[in-house]
């Protein structure tokens, strides 16, 4: 019988070799979820994702104006499907619960973090043939739908559309009163970046709880999906060092330097590597 952890991590490594455009964002998120919930019925969740895709196709066919590019109607249709018919909502009562970043648990509970709900929006939009992308908004993941124009959506808030004044207020809430909207706060995200943001929520929560071993395991799963992400190799190396995993720390930091030999952290990493190598001698 196949070990579910081995199977899920092999799927992540396969996804890590794909170009961003070819990633099935919800399917990959499901494999990430399997790592933390290997006993869960992931096949049932997979069927649910297929049901969402099928409903999105039917929805697009039934609304010619939306399918022709009316972003307002696209937003309303997706909101009705995901938040109305299926009952998904942001978890305002237990926001820090790790289940909110695990797609298996999100599907089971119909509650999640903004980025987890956003993955369902991106999955449904892609099935419908409608252009959509994640927005790397500080502290609060958003989704943008494109067509004739663009609408930014608060997926945590039931799919509400956000005007410029709403975005400014939201930014100040998360980044401080001096923050102003700009290109960085509204940057479009690729699928891989969205998935890494999902997992970063798990990594950060584990670090807060003092679960360093869990945090480094999460980081290594992120690296299976994004093997060229130099900063993650550095993070993994530093966590392995703190855990006393000298060989693993050396391997991770060496990979960081291969990817970023002249970056701002390169000198410090070389010094740390020298110290770690001395420990093995």
**Are 38 and 152 in a shared domain?**
yes
Q: Which residues of the chain are under the pLDDT cut of 50?
A: none
Domain membership flag for residue 174: yes
Residue-level pLDDT at 1: 58
Residue 159, in any domain of the structure: yes
User: Do the domain assignments include residue 97?
Assistant: yes
pTM: 0.96
**pLDDT value of residue 4:** 86
CA angle 176, 181, 182 (to 5 degrees): 125
Q: What is the DSSP string of 203-242?
A: HHHHHHTT-HHHHHHHHHHHHHH-TT-HHHHHHHHHHHHH
Overall number of domains in the chain: 2
Q: Is residue 135 assigned to a domain?
A: yes
In a domain, 184, yes or no: yes
pLDDT tens-digit readout, 53-99: 999 999 999 999 999 999 999 999 999 999 999 999 999 999 999 99
Range of the domain at 58: 4-189
């Amino acid at each position: 019988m196949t070990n579910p952890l081995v199977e899920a991590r092999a799927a992540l490594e396969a996804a890590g070799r794909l170009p961003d455009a070819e990633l099935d964002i919800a399917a990959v998120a499901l494999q990430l979820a399997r790592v933390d919930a290997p006993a869960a019925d992931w096949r049932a969740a997979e069927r649910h994702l297929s049901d969402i895709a099928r409903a999105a196709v039917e929805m697009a066919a039934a609304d010619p104006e939306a399918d022709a590019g009316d972003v307002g109607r696209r937003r309303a249709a997706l909101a009705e499907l995901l938040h109305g018919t299926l009952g998904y909502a942001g978890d305002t009562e237990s926001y820090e619960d790790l289940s909110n970043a695990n797609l298996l648990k999100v599907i089971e509970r119909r509650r999640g973090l903004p980025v987890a709900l956003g993955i369902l929006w991106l999955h449904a939009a892609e099935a419908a043939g409608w252009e959509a992308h994640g927005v790397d908004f500080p502290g609060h993941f958003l989704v943008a739908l494109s067509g004739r124009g663009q609408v930014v959506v608060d997926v945590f808030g039931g799919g509400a559309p956000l005007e410029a004044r709403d975005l400014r207020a939201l930014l100040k809430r998360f980044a401080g009163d001096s923050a102003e909207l700009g290109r960085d706060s509204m940057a479009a995200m690729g699928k891989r970046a969205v998935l890494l943001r999902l997992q970063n929520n798990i990594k950060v929560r584990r670090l807060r709880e003092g679960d360093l071993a869990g945090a480094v395991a999460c980081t290594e799963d992120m690296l299976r999906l994004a093997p060229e992400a130099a900063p993650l190799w550095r993070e993994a190396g530093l966590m392995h060092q703190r855990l006393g995993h000298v060989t693993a720390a050396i391997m991770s930091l060496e990979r960081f330097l291969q990817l970023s030999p002249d970056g701002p952290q390169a000198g410090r990493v070389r010094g740390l590597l020298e110290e770690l190598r001395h420990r093995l001698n």
